[in-house]
Amino acid sequence: MDIFLITDTQVRLLDEVPAAQPQQGFLWLDATHEEVVAAPEAWRAAVERVTGVHLYDPHLTDAVNVRHPSYFDSTQDYEMVVFRKLALNGESAANAEQAKVSANVTKLATRPVTFVVMDSALVTVRASHSRTIESARTRLLEYRPKANGNNHSGRPPSSPRELMLRLLNAMVDQYLDLRQPLSLQIDRWQRALLNTQRPFNDWLALLDARIELRKLDHLCEEQHDALQELRDHFVDTFHGQDNSRASDLLLVRINDVMEHITRVLNHARRLESSIESAVQIHFAAMAHRTSEIMRTLTVITALFMPLTLITGIFGMNFEVMPLLKDRAGFWITMGAMVVMVAVLLFFFRRRRYLEDQVREQAHVDSRRKPG
């Protein structure tokens, strides 16, 4: 477990456990799931020595549960938030960009991050490779106050709650970064579904995508509900206190995080609706193509029915038949067949049973060209 001392002027990684609470600033106790699972009682005792706060058994169990959903709970001594963040290919920074580009909706994975917020300390329990936490640690340790005293753009967090909200905002931004690659993937599937010339064979991937989008929908709802309870707790806790500016800043930050979650939720629902619409349009297009094929076959059948009748009549085994022994009988019969076909084609065209699709497509293309 790493312990950081965060003040207004510096951020230090402590080499040893402090004997008492700091007079200025606050502490950040950062631990991994593996460290807590290896010795949960020892870890809880270490947290209690540093902060003076005892963690309850149910909350200790929740902190090491990697399948726990997002939720919020509070006690008289601390608040506890479990937030499921996005896991990208082992969370390493080297392949983060590759993960964003090649992100597939069927490969979404999440890991829980537990926040225990106290008045003078923040305790986090997260996966061993968390790009968000590691980036935040690096930025804090690299902080140096400017000579002119203008540190507003890069100042350290002023309280454990502000640090937690900063980390939550960075985790939600990972979901926002997925919108473009997921939209591109869905657009490719939509174009493939609407292409009636080539059969669509990626049905299992499409079904998996719909299932994962539904899971993302439920995940965002859980996150939003947890942060809504956290916001209500902040409003009830800080209502009527003197430091109204600090409480307003916290509410602004948590409202911003909730708005980002809402954007991810709405985007996931739009993608799911797009998939369902594309599938419906695909089957409608396939039905239309089948209808066109059946209409063509019906026209061909209708054209050959009178010709089949004539050949059947002249194929009867009668000795005396009109035109059977006439020198021009063959040509007269063939001419009658051609006339019948021409009359039927004219009739079908007048009744619009036979559409010239090539001409219609050329007409549509000519209308789309500018000028």
Candidates 110, 113, 92, 88; CA nearest to 36 is 113
pLDDT digits (tens, 9 = 90+) for 307-318: 888 888 888 877
- Mean of pLDDT values over 39-65: 87
In the Cβ-directed half-sphere of 270, how many Cα atoms lie within 13 Å? 11
Q: What is the pLDDT of residue 154?
A: 67
Residue 308, strand partner residues? none
Question: What pLDDT is stored for residue 115 in this prediction?
Answer: 92
Return the closest-CA partner of residue 194 out of 294, 290, 292, 286.
Answer: 286
Strand pairing report for 110-117 and 121-126: antiparallel
Compute the average pLDDT of residues 82-109.
56
Across the range 279-308, mean pLDDT stands at 82
pLDDT, average across residues 246-274: 82
Residue 92: predicted pLDDT: 40
The answer as to CATH 3.30.460.20 being correct for domain 2-144+158-284 is yes
* Site of tokens 């050959």: 304
Average pLDDT, the chain: 78
| Residues ≥6 apart with Cβ < 8 Å to 117 | 78, 79, 80, 81, 123, 160, 161, 164
Q: Judge whether residue 146 has pLDDT over 70.
A: no
**Is the full-model pTM beyond 0.75?**
no
- Beta bridge partners of residue 86, listed in sequence order: 110
Distance CA 274, CA 10 (A): 49
How many angstroms separate the Cα of 165 from the Cα of each of 136, 254, 287, 315, 320?
Answer: 12, 6, 52, 91, 103
Structure tokens at 295: 């209409």
Q: Which residues of 61-86 are buried (b: 16+ CB within 10 A; e: fewer)?
A: ebbbeeeebbbbbeeeebbbbbbbbb
Annotation: CATH topology of 292-368: Methane Monooxygenase Hydroxylase; Chain G, domain 1 (1.20.58)
All structural domains of the chain with their residue ranges: 2-144+158-284, 292-368
Among the listed residues 33, 119, 45, the one whose alpha carbon sits nearest the alpha carbon of residue 76 = 119
